[in-house]
Structure 1
Amino acid sequence: MEESITELIRTQLRRLRIAAGLSQEEFGRLVHFSSSAVSAVETGVRPLDRAFLARADEVLNSGDLLVTLLRMAERDREPSWFKPWLEAERGATQLRYFNPNLIPGMLQTENYARAVLRFNDTFSEAEVERHVAARMTRQDILTREEPPQYVAVLDESVLSRTAEGLSGIMVEQIGRLIELAALPHVHIHLVPRSSGLHIGSSGPFALARSADGGWVGHLEHQLGGAVVDDEHGVAALLTKWENVRAEALPRRQTIDLMKEVQASHEPQ
Protein backbone atom coordinates (compact mmCIF):
# COMPACT_ATOMS: atom_id res chain seq x y z
CA MET A 1 0.00 0.00 0.00
CA GLU A 2 2.77 2.44 0.95
CA GLU A 3 4.57 1.95 -2.38
CA SER A 4 1.36 2.49 -4.35
CA ILE A 5 0.65 5.77 -2.53
CA THR A 6 4.17 7.09 -2.99
CA GLU A 7 4.00 6.24 -6.69
CA LEU A 8 0.63 8.02 -6.85
CA ILE A 9 2.25 11.11 -5.33
CA ARG A 10 4.97 11.09 -7.97
CA THR A 11 2.43 10.54 -10.75
CA GLN A 12 0.22 13.37 -9.49
CA LEU A 13 3.22 15.67 -9.15
CA ARG A 14 4.22 15.06 -12.78
CA ARG A 15 0.62 15.41 -13.99
CA LEU A 16 0.05 18.69 -12.15
CA ARG A 17 3.37 20.13 -13.31
CA ILE A 18 2.70 19.28 -16.94
CA ALA A 19 -0.90 20.55 -16.72
CA ALA A 20 0.50 23.85 -15.45
CA GLY A 21 2.72 24.04 -18.53
CA LEU A 22 5.94 23.96 -16.51
CA SER A 23 9.16 22.21 -17.42
CA GLN A 24 11.16 20.60 -14.63
CA GLU A 25 13.57 23.53 -14.76
CA GLU A 26 10.78 26.14 -14.55
CA PHE A 27 9.03 24.26 -11.78
CA GLY A 28 12.32 23.82 -9.93
CA ARG A 29 12.89 27.57 -9.86
CA LEU A 30 9.43 28.12 -8.36
CA VAL A 31 9.89 25.53 -5.60
CA HIS A 32 13.57 26.46 -5.06
CA PHE A 33 14.91 23.09 -6.24
CA SER A 34 17.21 22.31 -9.16
CA SER A 35 15.71 20.64 -12.24
CA SER A 36 17.79 17.53 -11.47
CA ALA A 37 16.30 17.40 -7.95
CA VAL A 38 12.77 17.70 -9.37
CA SER A 39 13.55 14.88 -11.80
CA ALA A 40 14.94 12.75 -8.96
CA VAL A 41 11.76 13.22 -6.94
CA GLU A 42 9.48 12.43 -9.88
CA THR A 43 11.39 9.29 -10.84
CA GLY A 44 11.77 7.97 -7.30
CA VAL A 45 15.53 8.40 -7.08
CA ARG A 46 15.08 10.98 -4.31
CA PRO A 47 12.81 10.36 -1.28
CA LEU A 48 9.64 12.40 -0.96
CA ASP A 49 10.13 15.49 1.15
CA ARG A 50 7.34 17.22 3.09
CA ALA A 51 8.71 20.75 2.57
CA PHE A 52 9.09 20.12 -1.17
CA LEU A 53 5.54 18.75 -1.51
CA ALA A 54 4.07 21.61 0.54
CA ARG A 55 5.77 24.11 -1.76
CA ALA A 56 4.62 22.11 -4.81
CA ASP A 57 1.01 22.18 -3.58
CA GLU A 58 1.30 25.96 -3.26
CA VAL A 59 2.89 26.52 -6.67
CA LEU A 60 0.57 24.10 -8.49
CA ASN A 61 -2.54 25.37 -6.66
CA SER A 62 -3.45 21.80 -5.70
CA GLY A 63 -4.68 22.50 -2.18
CA ASP A 64 -3.04 20.03 0.21
CA LEU A 65 -3.29 17.10 -2.21
CA LEU A 66 0.36 16.06 -2.29
CA VAL A 67 0.98 16.60 1.44
CA THR A 68 -2.23 14.72 2.28
CA LEU A 69 -1.14 11.77 0.16
CA LEU A 70 2.24 11.81 1.92
CA ARG A 71 0.48 11.62 5.28
CA MET A 72 -1.45 8.58 4.05
CA ALA A 73 1.81 6.91 3.02
CA GLU A 74 3.36 7.67 6.41
CA ARG A 75 0.36 6.21 8.23
CA ASP A 76 0.73 3.00 6.23
CA ARG A 77 4.22 2.62 7.69
CA GLU A 78 2.83 2.31 11.20
CA PRO A 79 2.58 -1.22 12.66
CA SER A 80 -0.84 -2.87 12.43
CA TRP A 81 -1.32 -2.89 16.22
CA PHE A 82 -0.96 0.92 16.32
CA LYS A 83 -3.34 1.86 13.49
CA PRO A 84 -6.64 1.49 15.46
CA TRP A 85 -5.30 3.87 18.08
CA LEU A 86 -4.17 6.35 15.40
CA GLU A 87 -7.72 6.41 14.04
CA ALA A 88 -9.12 7.06 17.54
CA GLU A 89 -6.48 9.75 18.09
CA ARG A 90 -7.27 11.59 14.85
CA GLY A 91 -11.02 11.61 15.53
CA ALA A 92 -10.81 12.56 19.21
CA THR A 93 -12.21 15.69 20.79
CA GLN A 94 -10.22 15.06 23.97
CA LEU A 95 -6.91 13.24 24.47
CA ARG A 96 -5.33 12.15 27.73
CA TYR A 97 -1.77 10.79 28.03
CA PHE A 98 0.18 9.55 31.01
CA ASN A 99 3.77 8.41 30.71
CA PRO A 100 6.20 7.88 33.62
CA ASN A 101 9.11 7.01 31.29
CA LEU A 102 9.13 9.09 28.09
CA ILE A 103 7.74 12.25 26.51
CA PRO A 104 4.58 11.23 24.60
CA GLY A 105 5.10 11.01 20.83
CA MET A 106 2.81 13.92 20.02
CA LEU A 107 4.97 16.24 22.15
CA GLN A 108 8.41 15.07 21.00
CA THR A 109 10.91 17.11 19.03
CA GLU A 110 12.53 15.44 16.03
CA ASN A 111 15.83 15.06 17.90
CA TYR A 112 14.21 13.52 20.97
CA ALA A 113 12.13 11.16 18.82
CA ARG A 114 15.26 10.17 16.90
CA ALA A 115 17.15 9.43 20.12
CA VAL A 116 14.27 7.30 21.47
CA LEU A 117 13.84 5.37 18.23
CA ARG A 118 17.55 4.58 18.12
CA PHE A 119 17.07 2.55 21.32
CA ASN A 120 15.78 -0.13 18.94
CA ASP A 121 18.98 -1.39 17.37
CA THR A 122 17.04 -3.40 14.79
CA PHE A 123 16.05 -0.16 13.02
CA SER A 124 18.23 1.07 10.18
CA GLU A 125 18.84 4.82 9.94
CA ALA A 126 16.30 4.98 7.10
CA GLU A 127 13.69 3.25 9.29
CA VAL A 128 14.42 5.63 12.16
CA GLU A 129 13.91 8.61 9.86
CA ARG A 130 10.63 7.20 8.50
CA HIS A 131 9.32 6.73 12.03
CA VAL A 132 10.42 10.24 13.01
CA ALA A 133 8.56 11.66 10.00
CA ALA A 134 5.41 9.70 10.89
CA ARG A 135 5.61 10.89 14.49
CA MET A 136 5.92 14.51 13.38
CA THR A 137 2.87 14.03 11.14
CA ARG A 138 0.81 12.89 14.15
CA GLN A 139 1.54 16.22 15.77
CA ASP A 140 -0.49 18.03 13.10
CA ILE A 141 -3.50 17.15 15.27
CA LEU A 142 -2.40 19.75 17.81
CA THR A 143 -2.26 22.61 15.30
CA ARG A 144 -5.19 21.83 13.03
CA GLU A 145 -8.13 24.24 12.75
CA GLU A 146 -10.23 22.48 15.42
CA PRO A 147 -7.73 20.65 17.65
CA PRO A 148 -8.75 18.35 20.50
CA GLN A 149 -8.21 19.27 24.11
CA TYR A 150 -4.89 17.59 24.92
CA VAL A 151 -3.79 16.82 28.48
CA ALA A 152 -0.53 15.06 29.32
CA VAL A 153 0.77 14.01 32.74
CA LEU A 154 4.47 13.14 33.00
CA ASP A 155 6.81 12.24 35.82
CA GLU A 156 9.39 14.93 36.55
CA SER A 157 12.07 12.23 36.15
CA VAL A 158 11.23 12.00 32.43
CA LEU A 159 12.69 15.49 31.96
CA SER A 160 15.66 14.94 34.24
CA ARG A 161 17.32 12.03 32.47
CA THR A 162 20.96 12.62 31.64
CA ALA A 163 23.39 10.85 29.34
CA GLU A 164 26.25 11.73 27.04
CA GLY A 165 24.93 13.93 24.24
CA LEU A 166 21.44 14.12 25.75
CA SER A 167 21.57 17.49 27.52
CA GLY A 168 21.19 19.57 24.37
CA ILE A 169 18.32 17.38 23.19
CA MET A 170 16.58 17.78 26.55
CA VAL A 171 17.00 21.57 26.57
CA GLU A 172 15.33 21.68 23.15
CA GLN A 173 12.64 19.17 24.16
CA ILE A 174 11.68 20.95 27.37
CA GLY A 175 11.57 24.22 25.45
CA ARG A 176 9.10 22.58 23.09
CA LEU A 177 6.95 21.45 26.02
CA ILE A 178 6.91 24.98 27.44
CA GLU A 179 5.93 26.35 24.04
CA LEU A 180 3.10 23.83 23.63
CA ALA A 181 1.87 24.38 27.18
CA ALA A 182 1.15 28.00 26.23
CA LEU A 183 -1.53 26.84 23.75
CA PRO A 184 -5.02 27.14 25.24
CA HIS A 185 -6.01 23.57 24.31
CA VAL A 186 -2.78 21.90 25.52
CA HIS A 187 -2.30 21.13 29.21
CA ILE A 188 0.94 19.58 30.47
CA HIS A 189 1.34 18.58 34.12
CA LEU A 190 4.30 17.13 35.98
CA VAL A 191 4.17 14.66 38.85
CA PRO A 192 7.00 15.93 41.11
CA ARG A 193 9.65 13.59 42.46
CA SER A 194 8.30 14.19 45.96
CA SER A 195 5.16 12.21 45.08
CA GLY A 196 7.10 8.95 45.23
CA LEU A 197 5.32 5.80 44.07
CA HIS A 198 1.76 6.22 42.81
CA ILE A 199 -0.83 4.26 40.84
CA GLY A 200 0.60 5.36 37.50
CA SER A 201 4.07 4.01 38.23
CA SER A 202 3.11 0.68 36.65
CA GLY A 203 3.21 2.09 33.13
CA PRO A 204 1.94 4.49 30.45
CA PHE A 205 -1.57 4.68 29.03
CA ALA A 206 -3.68 6.98 26.90
CA LEU A 207 -7.36 7.82 26.46
CA ALA A 208 -9.28 9.34 23.56
CA ARG A 209 -12.83 10.69 23.67
CA SER A 210 -14.76 10.67 20.40
CA ALA A 211 -17.31 13.21 19.22
CA ASP A 212 -20.15 10.98 20.46
CA GLY A 213 -18.73 11.04 24.00
CA GLY A 214 -17.32 7.51 24.07
CA TRP A 215 -13.83 6.77 25.40
CA VAL A 216 -11.16 4.42 24.03
CA GLY A 217 -7.94 3.57 25.82
CA HIS A 218 -4.51 2.47 24.69
CA LEU A 219 -1.79 0.53 26.50
CA GLU A 220 1.78 0.19 25.26
CA HIS A 221 4.07 -2.69 26.18
CA GLN A 222 7.39 -4.17 25.08
CA LEU A 223 5.91 -6.06 22.12
CA GLY A 224 3.59 -3.34 20.83
CA GLY A 225 0.31 -2.10 22.24
CA ALA A 226 -3.40 -2.74 22.55
CA VAL A 227 -6.59 -0.72 22.23
CA VAL A 228 -8.91 -0.91 25.25
CA ASP A 229 -12.54 -0.42 24.27
CA ASP A 230 -14.51 -2.65 26.64
CA GLU A 231 -16.55 -0.89 29.32
CA HIS A 232 -14.67 -2.36 32.29
CA GLY A 233 -11.23 -1.64 30.86
CA VAL A 234 -12.06 1.94 29.89
CA ALA A 235 -13.59 2.61 33.33
CA ALA A 236 -10.42 1.30 35.01
CA LEU A 237 -8.21 3.59 32.88
CA LEU A 238 -10.42 6.61 33.57
CA THR A 239 -10.06 5.92 37.30
CA LYS A 240 -6.28 5.60 36.95
CA TRP A 241 -6.26 8.87 35.00
CA GLU A 242 -8.07 10.75 37.76
CA ASN A 243 -5.60 9.38 40.29
CA VAL A 244 -2.44 10.32 38.38
CA ARG A 245 -3.88 13.72 37.48
CA ALA A 246 -4.46 14.34 41.19
CA GLU A 247 -0.75 13.68 41.85
CA ALA A 248 0.36 16.27 39.29
CA LEU A 249 1.16 19.94 39.74
CA PRO A 250 -1.11 22.69 38.37
CA ARG A 251 -0.29 24.14 34.96
CA ARG A 252 1.60 27.26 36.12
CA GLN A 253 3.70 25.36 38.67
CA THR A 254 4.47 22.74 36.02
CA ILE A 255 5.79 25.37 33.62
CA ASP A 256 7.97 26.86 36.38
CA LEU A 257 9.36 23.39 37.21
CA MET A 258 10.02 22.66 33.53
CA LYS A 259 12.05 25.86 33.30
CA GLU A 260 14.08 24.80 36.36
CA VAL A 261 14.81 21.36 34.92
CA GLN A 262 15.66 22.88 31.53
CA ALA A 263 18.20 25.18 33.20
CA SER A 264 19.79 22.17 34.94
CA HIS A 265 20.58 20.65 31.53
CA GLU A 266 22.31 23.78 30.24
CA PRO A 267 26.12 24.11 30.50
CA GLN A 268 27.15 25.69 33.78
Structure 2
Amino acid sequence: MECPKTWFHRRSGIAGFDRSPVWFRDWLIIEREATLIRWFEPLIVPGLLQTKAYAHAIIAGSGMVDAADVDLIVTARLDRRDLLAAPKPPTLIAIVDEGVLRRCVGSPAIMAEQCQFLLEASAHPHMQIYVAPSSAGVHGGLGGAFTLAKARDFDAAHLDSPLHAQITGRRDDIDSLTRRWEAIRGESLPRALSLELIEDVAKSWQT
Protein backbone atom coordinates (compact mmCIF):
# COMPACT_ATOMS: atom_id res chain seq x y z
CA MET A 1 0.00 0.00 0.00
CA GLU A 2 1.42 3.35 -1.02
CA CYS A 3 0.69 6.08 1.48
CA PRO A 4 2.10 9.27 2.95
CA LYS A 5 4.05 8.94 6.18
CA THR A 6 1.58 11.26 7.91
CA TRP A 7 -1.06 8.54 7.87
CA PHE A 8 0.73 6.70 10.64
CA HIS A 9 1.44 9.57 12.98
CA ARG A 10 -1.26 10.08 15.56
CA ARG A 11 -2.79 13.53 15.61
CA SER A 12 -3.79 14.91 19.00
CA GLY A 13 -7.42 15.85 19.35
CA ILE A 14 -8.86 13.45 16.78
CA ALA A 15 -12.38 12.75 17.99
CA GLY A 16 -13.08 9.12 18.82
CA PHE A 17 -9.46 8.04 18.19
CA ASP A 18 -8.95 6.08 21.42
CA ARG A 19 -12.41 4.49 21.24
CA SER A 20 -11.98 3.27 17.67
CA PRO A 21 -10.54 -0.09 16.56
CA VAL A 22 -6.81 0.01 15.92
CA TRP A 23 -7.32 -0.94 12.27
CA PHE A 24 -9.62 2.05 11.75
CA ARG A 25 -7.39 4.73 13.27
CA ASP A 26 -5.35 5.35 10.13
CA TRP A 27 -8.56 6.27 8.32
CA LEU A 28 -9.55 8.68 11.11
CA ILE A 29 -6.30 10.55 10.50
CA ILE A 30 -6.90 10.63 6.74
CA GLU A 31 -10.49 11.74 7.25
CA ARG A 32 -9.38 14.56 9.53
CA GLU A 33 -6.80 15.86 7.03
CA ALA A 34 -8.96 15.57 3.92
CA THR A 35 -10.33 18.60 2.12
CA LEU A 36 -12.77 16.53 0.02
CA ILE A 37 -14.58 13.35 1.06
CA ARG A 38 -16.69 11.44 -1.47
CA TRP A 39 -18.69 8.60 0.07
CA PHE A 40 -20.98 6.03 -1.52
CA GLU A 41 -23.18 3.74 0.57
CA PRO A 42 -25.57 1.14 -0.89
CA LEU A 43 -26.82 -0.29 2.42
CA ILE A 44 -26.71 2.20 5.30
CA VAL A 45 -26.43 5.94 5.92
CA PRO A 46 -22.75 7.05 5.84
CA GLY A 47 -21.26 7.09 9.32
CA LEU A 48 -20.55 10.83 9.30
CA LEU A 49 -24.26 11.48 8.64
CA GLN A 50 -25.84 9.08 11.12
CA THR A 51 -28.00 10.24 14.01
CA LYS A 52 -27.35 8.82 17.47
CA ALA A 53 -30.49 6.65 17.37
CA TYR A 54 -29.72 5.33 13.89
CA ALA A 55 -26.10 4.56 14.79
CA HIS A 56 -27.21 2.77 17.94
CA ALA A 57 -29.75 0.69 16.02
CA ILE A 58 -27.16 -0.26 13.38
CA ILE A 59 -24.44 -1.20 15.87
CA ALA A 60 -26.68 -2.96 18.40
CA GLY A 61 -28.73 -4.67 15.70
CA SER A 62 -25.68 -6.17 14.00
CA GLY A 63 -25.41 -8.78 16.73
CA MET A 64 -21.63 -8.55 16.43
CA VAL A 65 -20.94 -6.12 19.28
CA ASP A 66 -21.08 -6.83 23.00
CA ALA A 67 -23.93 -4.90 24.62
CA ALA A 68 -21.48 -3.25 27.02
CA ASP A 69 -19.52 -1.78 24.08
CA VAL A 70 -22.41 -0.44 22.00
CA ASP A 71 -22.60 3.00 23.63
CA LEU A 72 -18.83 3.49 23.38
CA ILE A 73 -18.83 2.70 19.67
CA VAL A 74 -21.84 4.95 19.07
CA THR A 75 -20.09 7.81 20.87
CA ALA A 76 -16.93 7.30 18.83
CA ARG A 77 -18.95 7.39 15.62
CA LEU A 78 -20.76 10.58 16.60
CA ASP A 79 -17.49 12.21 17.68
CA ARG A 80 -16.25 11.88 14.09
CA ARG A 81 -18.90 14.40 13.02
CA ASP A 82 -16.92 17.13 14.79
CA LEU A 83 -14.77 17.54 11.68
CA LEU A 84 -17.84 18.74 9.74
CA ALA A 85 -18.20 21.63 12.19
CA ALA A 86 -14.53 22.61 12.07
CA PRO A 87 -13.57 26.17 11.06
CA LYS A 88 -12.41 24.79 7.69
CA PRO A 89 -14.46 21.60 7.22
CA PRO A 90 -13.93 19.25 4.32
CA THR A 91 -16.42 19.19 1.49
CA LEU A 92 -18.51 16.05 1.97
CA ILE A 93 -20.33 14.61 -1.03
CA ALA A 94 -22.40 11.55 -0.17
CA ILE A 95 -24.41 9.29 -2.44
CA VAL A 96 -26.81 6.78 -0.91
CA ASP A 97 -28.88 4.18 -2.65
CA GLU A 98 -32.64 4.78 -2.34
CA GLY A 99 -32.93 1.49 -0.48
CA VAL A 100 -30.91 3.02 2.36
CA LEU A 101 -33.71 5.51 2.99
CA ARG A 102 -36.46 2.91 2.79
CA ARG A 103 -34.88 0.20 4.94
CA CYS A 104 -36.31 0.38 8.45
CA VAL A 105 -33.43 0.61 10.88
CA GLY A 106 -34.66 0.57 14.47
CA SER A 107 -38.12 2.04 13.97
CA PRO A 108 -40.10 4.37 11.67
CA ALA A 109 -39.46 7.22 14.14
CA ILE A 110 -35.70 6.65 13.93
CA MET A 111 -35.87 6.64 10.14
CA ALA A 112 -37.95 9.83 10.04
CA GLU A 113 -35.38 11.54 12.27
CA GLN A 114 -32.51 10.24 10.18
CA CYS A 115 -34.03 11.48 6.93
CA GLN A 116 -34.67 14.87 8.49
CA PHE A 117 -31.06 15.00 9.65
CA LEU A 118 -29.90 14.39 6.07
CA LEU A 119 -32.05 17.28 4.89
CA GLU A 120 -30.61 19.57 7.56
CA ALA A 121 -27.05 18.49 6.78
CA SER A 122 -27.55 19.22 3.08
CA ALA A 123 -28.37 22.82 3.91
CA HIS A 124 -24.71 23.41 4.77
CA PRO A 125 -22.67 24.65 1.81
CA HIS A 126 -19.91 22.10 2.36
CA MET A 127 -22.24 19.08 2.34
CA GLN A 128 -24.01 17.57 -0.66
CA ILE A 129 -26.25 14.51 -0.55
CA TYR A 130 -27.45 12.62 -3.60
CA VAL A 131 -29.66 9.58 -4.03
CA ALA A 132 -29.15 6.77 -6.53
CA PRO A 133 -32.80 5.89 -7.25
CA SER A 134 -34.18 2.38 -7.43
CA SER A 135 -35.16 3.13 -11.03
CA ALA A 136 -31.45 3.21 -11.94
CA GLY A 137 -31.44 -0.58 -11.73
CA VAL A 138 -27.98 -2.08 -11.98
CA HIS A 139 -25.21 0.48 -11.53
CA GLY A 140 -21.55 0.67 -10.62
CA GLY A 141 -22.19 0.99 -6.89
CA LEU A 142 -23.67 -2.45 -6.36
CA GLY A 143 -20.20 -3.80 -5.69
CA GLY A 144 -20.17 -2.18 -2.25
CA ALA A 145 -19.48 0.93 -0.23
CA PHE A 146 -16.33 3.00 -0.62
CA THR A 147 -14.97 6.40 0.36
CA LEU A 148 -12.50 8.63 -1.45
CA ALA A 149 -10.54 11.22 0.53
CA LYS A 150 -8.47 13.95 -1.07
CA ALA A 151 -6.05 16.39 0.50
CA ARG A 152 -3.42 18.73 -0.88
CA ASP A 153 -0.69 16.10 -0.68
CA PHE A 154 -2.48 12.75 -0.95
CA ASP A 155 -5.43 10.75 -2.24
CA ALA A 156 -6.75 7.76 -0.33
CA ALA A 157 -9.62 5.32 -0.44
CA HIS A 158 -11.41 3.26 2.18
CA LEU A 159 -13.35 0.06 1.53
CA ASP A 160 -15.29 -1.79 4.20
CA SER A 161 -15.19 -5.49 4.95
CA PRO A 162 -16.73 -7.48 7.81
CA LEU A 163 -13.31 -7.86 9.45
CA HIS A 164 -11.33 -4.67 8.87
CA ALA A 165 -10.90 -1.60 6.74
CA GLN A 166 -8.95 -1.70 3.51
CA ILE A 167 -7.12 1.56 2.95
CA THR A 168 -5.24 2.25 -0.24
CA GLY A 169 -3.34 5.10 -1.76
CA ARG A 170 -2.32 3.26 -4.93
CA ARG A 171 -2.86 5.41 -8.00
CA ASP A 172 -4.49 2.60 -9.97
CA ASP A 173 -6.95 1.91 -7.13
CA ILE A 174 -7.84 5.58 -6.76
CA ASP A 175 -8.36 5.97 -10.51
CA SER A 176 -10.57 2.86 -10.63
CA LEU A 177 -12.73 4.00 -7.70
CA THR A 178 -12.96 7.52 -9.09
CA ARG A 179 -14.34 6.13 -12.35
CA ARG A 180 -16.81 4.05 -10.35
CA TRP A 181 -17.81 7.14 -8.36
CA GLU A 182 -18.48 9.13 -11.52
CA ALA A 183 -20.56 6.27 -12.93
CA ILE A 184 -22.70 6.21 -9.76
CA ARG A 185 -22.98 9.99 -9.76
CA GLY A 186 -24.23 9.82 -13.33
CA GLU A 187 -27.03 7.46 -12.26
CA SER A 188 -27.98 9.57 -9.24
CA LEU A 189 -30.72 12.17 -9.08
CA PRO A 190 -29.73 15.84 -9.27
CA ARG A 191 -29.27 17.49 -5.88
CA ALA A 192 -32.69 19.16 -5.73
CA LEU A 193 -34.52 15.99 -6.77
CA SER A 194 -32.46 13.95 -4.31
CA LEU A 195 -33.57 16.20 -1.47
CA GLU A 196 -37.18 16.01 -2.64
CA LEU A 197 -36.99 12.23 -2.52
CA ILE A 198 -35.45 12.26 0.97
CA GLU A 199 -38.23 14.61 2.13
CA ASP A 200 -40.92 12.34 0.64
CA VAL A 201 -39.41 9.28 2.32
CA ALA A 202 -39.20 11.16 5.64
CA LYS A 203 -42.92 11.89 5.42
CA SER A 204 -43.67 8.25 4.63
CA TRP A 205 -41.91 7.19 7.84
CA GLN A 206 -44.08 9.60 9.82
CA THR A 207 -47.40 8.08 8.69
TM-based fold match above 0.5: yes
Report which of the two has the higher share of helix: 1
1:97/1:153 contact within 8 Å kept:
yes
Mapped to 1, the partners of 2:27 and 2:187 lie a distance apart of 26
Contact 1:91 1:211 in 2 (8 A): no
Query: How many angstroms apart in 2 are the aligned matches of 1:76 and 1:120?
Result: 22
Partner SS state of residue 109, structure 2: helix
2:38 corresponds to: 96
Give the corresponding residue for 2:67: 125
Matched residue type, 1:171: A
State the Cα distance separating 1:169 from its structure 2 match: 0.4
- The letter of the residue matching 1:207 is L
Q: Which has the higher contact order (CA 8 A, sep 6+)?
A: 2
**Mapping 1:144-163, distance limit 5 Å:** 144-162=86-104
Matched, 1:229 2:169: yes
Q: Which amino acid aligns with 2:204?
A: S
Q: In 1, Cα distance between the equivalents of 2:62 and 2:133? A: 29
The reply to whether residue 186 of structure 1 matches residue 127 of structure 2 is yes
Q: Secondary structure at the match of 2:165?
A: strand
Indicate the larger mover: 102-111 or 249-258: 249-258
Task: Report the Cα distance in structure 2 between the residues aligned to 1:123 and 1:151, rounded to whole angstroms.
Answer: 29
Report deviation, 1:264: 1.0
Answering whether residue 114 of structure 2 is matched by residue 173 of structure 1, we say yes
Correspondence 1:262 to 2:202: yes
Distance 1:145 1:126 in 2: 34
Aligned length: 196
* 1:251 counterpart residue number: 191
Q: Mark the runs of 5 or more structure 1 residues left unpaired by the alignment.
A: 1-67
Write the mapping of 1:77-88 to structure 2, written as runs, cut at 5 A: 77-88=19-30
Rg larger for = 1
Q: How does 1:127-146 map to 2 (within 5 A)?
A: 127-146=69-88
Deviation at 1:195, TM superposition (A): 0.2
Identity of aligned residues (%): 37
Structure 2: state its 5+ residue gaps. Answer: 1-11
| Secondary structure of 2:23's aligned partner | coil
Equivalent residue letter for 1:75: F
From 150, 156, 181, the counterpart of 1:216: 156
1:197 and 2:197 correspond: no
- Could you tell me how far 1:222 is from its partner in structure 2? 1.4
Counterpart amino acid of 1:154?
V
